[in-house]
Amino acid sequence: MTDYMAQMLNELMGSQRDAMPGERKELRFDDVNVCTDFLVGFCTHDIFRNTKNDLGFCKYSIHDENLKKSYQTSDRKGKMGFEQRFLDRIRRIHEDVHRKIQKHEDRLSVTQRESKSAEETFGEKIQENEQRREQLAKKVEDLMDEAAVEGAKGNVEAAQSAVEKADKAKFEMEELLTELTNLRTEKDRAISMEENVTAGNRQMQVCQICGCFMLQNDAPQRVDDHMTGKLHIAYQQIADTIQVLEQTIEELKQKRMEERFSRRQDRSRSRSNERKRSERSEHRRDHRDHRDRDRDHHHRHRDHKDHREHREHREHREHRDRGDRHRSDRDRRVSSPKFTKK
Ligand SMILES: [Zn+2]
Ligand SMILES: [Zn+2]
């Protein structure tokens, strides 16, 4: 079975589609195949599906609403780094689309600038033409003078040659005049064409959410179609989520700091209580030797038990941290998807 088909089936039927009815194991949100973006918010692969920026299939096969709920209500929420990783990912997409918006705006301003150069180009050609005709007119004048002088001297051949040269120059002048008329017509046509293009460009604008070209003052139906288009909505969702998530992460940080502070206070309070207790017990020891021994034994036993529980807890946490590290390594290994697909 191809990867594509497997992933499609996973999306349709869940990744445990092959398991026999009784065999399905209880899924947990920290399973390695769970898309953690989905737990936190949404899968970026989902929101761009079948748009110009389709990201292909998500490399994590499990996107499950129940797991999302169990993560959202879990006391591990906000402590696994999922939010930060999701935020980093959607920020990259957000930055990409902003580069695209900038590029498209640059393109609009360049076409507007280019349209001015036609007048300049034709203006230069017309100026050259006029200068050349002036030179030729002067040349014709000089040659006719020369012909007159030579004729008066009786140098018929020289006079004739000067007249022939003058005729040639006149012919060239006429050619230049025809060219000038053509240039003027071309110039007018180019300018009016440019005006249309420029006017078209002026009516164009770049959508500040998704980077698409849009017509200014377009028909409401078309504007509506754009705003409810999947691509536009996806980028809008990303922009909104970044704002919300930044705030959520800040609040989580605050909460954790407060928790740490109150834990420290609890610890110092219990230490001072213990000190008082031991002072009291020392005071009583003289009188209740036998009973104290019993109670100390009990204390020791409980301390031992506390200590063991604490160690187990720590081992569990270390194991979980390793899992997290493994997961973020795995994330880093996979190259970031391309969003520049046209
Ligand atoms: Zn996903
Ligand atoms: Zn848009």
pLDDT by residue (tens digit) across 84-123?
Answer: 999 999 999 999 999 999 999 988 887 766 555 678 888 8
Burial call 68-87: b when 16+ CB within 10 Å, e when fewer: beebeebeebbebebbebbb
Report yes or no on 318 lying in a domain.
Answer: no
Each residue of 62-79: pLDDT tens digit?
A: 999 999 999 999 999 888
Q: Determine the Cα–Cα distance for residues 283 and 317; give it in Å rounded to an integer.
A: 41
* DSSP designation for 41: S
Report yes or no on 171 lying in a domain.
Answer: yes
271, pLDDT greater than 60: yes
52 and 118 in a single domain? The answer is: no
Q: How confident is the model at residue 32 (pLDDT cuts 50, 70, 90)?
A: very high
H-helix or E-strand containing 213? Answer: strand 213-215
Residues 46/58, Cβ–Cβ less than 8 Å: yes
Report yes or no on 338 lying in a domain.
Answer: no
119 and 200 in a single domain? The answer is: yes
176 and 122 in a single domain? The answer is: yes
pLDDT score at 195: 74
114 and 222 in a single domain? The answer is: yes
Report yes or no on 267 lying in a domain.
Answer: no
pLDDT score at 10: 60
65 and 141 in a single domain? The answer is: no
Q: Determine the Cα–Cα distance for residues 115 and 111; give it in Å rounded to an integer.
A: 6
Distance 235 CA to ligand 1 centre (A): 16
131 and 31 in a single domain? The answer is: no
Q: Could you tell me where the DSSP H helices lie in 204-335? A: 220-227, 230-285, 289-333
Distance 4 CA to ligand 1 centre (A): 14
Report yes or no on 116 lying in a domain.
Answer: yes
134 and 220 in a single domain? The answer is: yes
Distance 208 CA to ligand 1 centre (A): 26
The candidate with the shortest Cα–Cα distance to 239, out of 91, 79, 119, 96, is 91
180 and 122 in a single domain? The answer is: yes
pLDDT score at 203: 75
Which of 198, 226, 254 is the C-terminal boundary of a domain? 226
Residues 147/162, Cβ–Cβ less than 8 Å: yes
The domain containing residue 160 runs over which residues? 110-226
Which of 61, 80, 99 is the C-terminal boundary of a domain? 80
38 and 127 in a single domain? The answer is: no
Q: Determine the Cα–Cα distance for residues 342 and 340; give it in Å rounded to an integer.
A: 6
Report yes or no on 323 lying in a domain.
Answer: no
273, pLDDT greater than 60: yes
Report yes or no on 2 lying in a domain.
Answer: yes
Which residues sit with Cβ closer than 5 angstroms to ligand 2, an ion? 207, 209-210, 232
Each residue of 178-198: pLDDT tens digit?
A: 999 999 998 888 888 777 766
pLDDT score at 272: 78
Distance 102 CA to ligand 1 centre (A): 29
Q: Output the average pLDDT for the chain.
A: 80
339, pLDDT greater than 70: no
Domain count, the chain: 2
Q: Which two tokens stand for residue 332?
A: 């880093």
222 and 115 in a single domain? The answer is: yes
Listing DSSP states for 42-95 in one string gives: --HHHHTTTSTT-----S--B--HHHHHHHHTSTTTTSSSHHHHHHHHHHHHHH
Distance 238 CA to ligand 1 centre (A): 15
**Which range (73-82, 126-135, 280-289) has the least confidence?**
280-289
Judge residue 331's burial from the number of C-beta atoms within 10 Å of its C-beta, 0-12 exposed, 13-18 middle, 19 or more buried. Answer: middle
pTM: 0.52
**Which range (18-27, 106-115, 145-154) has the least confidence?**
18-27
User: Mean per-residue pLDDT for 263-276?
Assistant: 81
pLDDT score at 298: 47
User: Mean per-residue pLDDT for 145-158?
Assistant: 93
Ligand nearest to the CA of 41: 1
**Which range (128-142, 183-197, 211-225, 235-249) has the least confidence?**
183-197
127 and 213 in a single domain? The answer is: yes
CB-based contacts of 327, cutoff 8 Å, min separation 6: 32, 36
pLDDT score at 202: 59
153 and 216 in a single domain? The answer is: yes
Q: Determine the Cα–Cα distance for residues 119 and 91; give it in Å rounded to an integer.
A: 44
Distance 205 CA to ligand 1 centre (A): 33
Which of 171, 194, 226 is the C-terminal boundary of a domain? 226
pLDDT score at 336: 41
Ligand nearest to the CA of 100: 2
User: Mean per-residue pLDDT for 291-298?
Assistant: 47
Report yes or no on 17 lying in a domain.
Answer: yes
